[in-house]
């Protein structure tokens, strides 16, 4: 059974970090309901849900993708680029240790956010962003290249994280909203899509993706390519530069 690491939103969610967006009102109660429905998508498809210990004092703690990256049966614990988020790490480490997955950790002076890491096949695209530095990328490379992964650095200046601008479909095609992608030519197969919130997809299985409900034209485009598209309303998280990928980390069954 595939398993999913998640953490419920903090009541302080509205105070989360922002880099590229202006702050607007966030409804914590609505965010909780949206998160519950998001988790139910996986639960309804047979995924086991592993809840990380709540971190209510951490506004951005719900964005667990930034804290750990899983490579088959190995994990890398990240060191947040925003110092305000480093308090999320201990509970995530405890959850990874409880899962039995061996791991390495990014150490000072390296910084690495999981939202800057996109895996396509055995290629690991890593965003050189305001949250992920050269030392963090070097540490990641030294941890995963011996395990058969090829790390490719990608410039990220227009969005918070690499995966704020691009993700990948099940066939490996990288998708993104071109005004927010520094250099689409860096990806062997790139598909420009018509809506900003359509850039983030989670591959549920080889024929199914999960994406935001706020990108209907993009959903139609994916369906025209033969994919089943499941949508989720994540508007309160999108206000904080989050998306469907940020809210979970998949573990091997």
The per-residue pLDDT for 14 is 95
Phi, psi (5° rounding) for residue 213? -75, -5
- Among candidates 160, 180, 176, 156, which has minimal Cα distance to 168? 176
- Structure pTM? 0.96
**CB 200 within 8 Å of CB 211:** yes
Structural domain total, the chain: 1
The per-residue pLDDT for 252 is 72
Q: Both tokens of residue 9? A: 């939103």
20 part of the active site: no
pLDDT per residue, tens digit, the chain (253 aa), is: 789 999 999 999 999 998 988 999 999 999 999 999 999 999 999 999 999 999 999 999 999 999 999 999 999 999 999 999 999 999 999 999 999 999 999 999 999 999 999 999 999 999 999 999 999 999 999 999 999 999 999 999 999 999 999 999 999 999 999 999 999 999 999 999 999 999 999 999 999 999 999 999 999 999 999 999 999 999 999 999 999 999 999 987 5
Q: Which of 78, 197, 243, 246 is labelled catalytic?
A: 246
The per-residue pLDDT for 107 is 98
Q: Which of 78, 161, 197, 243 is labelled catalytic?
A: 161
Q: How far apart are CA 111 and CA 165, in angstroms?
A: 20
243 part of the active site: no
* Domain range enclosing 33: 3-251
Tell me, what CATH number does 238's domain have?
A: 3.75.10.10
The per-residue pLDDT for 253 is 55
């Amino acid at each position: 059974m595939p398993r999913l690491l998640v953490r419920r939103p903090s009541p302080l969610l509205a105070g989360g970090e922002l880099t590229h967006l202006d702050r607007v009102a966030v409804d914590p109660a609505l965010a909780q309901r949206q998160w519950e429905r998001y988790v139910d998508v996986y639960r309804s498809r047979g995924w086991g849900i592993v809840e990380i210990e709540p971190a209510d004092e951490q506004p951005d703690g719900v964005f667990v993708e930034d804290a750990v990256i899983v490579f088959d049966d190995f994990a890398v614990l990240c060191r947040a680029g925003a110092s305000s988020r480093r308090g999320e790490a201990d509970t995530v480490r405890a959850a990874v240790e409880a899962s039995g997955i061996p791991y390495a950790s990014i150490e000072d002076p390296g910084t690495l956010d999981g939202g800057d890491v996109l895996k396509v096949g055995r290629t690991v695209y890593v965003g050189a962003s305001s949250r992920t530095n050269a030392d963090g990328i070097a540490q990641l490379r030294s941890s995963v290249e011996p395990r058969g992964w090829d790390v490719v650095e990608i410039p990220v200046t227009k969005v918070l994280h690499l995966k704020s601008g691009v993700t990948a479909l099940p066939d490996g095609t990288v998708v993104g909203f071109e005004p927010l992608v520094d250099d689409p030519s860096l990806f062997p197969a790139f598909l420009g899509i018509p809506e900003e919130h359509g850039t983030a997809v989670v591959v549920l299985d080889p024929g199914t993706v999960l994406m935001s409900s706020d990108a209907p034209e993009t959903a139609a485009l994916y369906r025209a390519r033969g994919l089943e598209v499941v949508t989720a309303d994540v508007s309160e998280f999108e206000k904080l530069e989050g998306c469907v990928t940020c809210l979970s980390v998949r573990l091997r069954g």
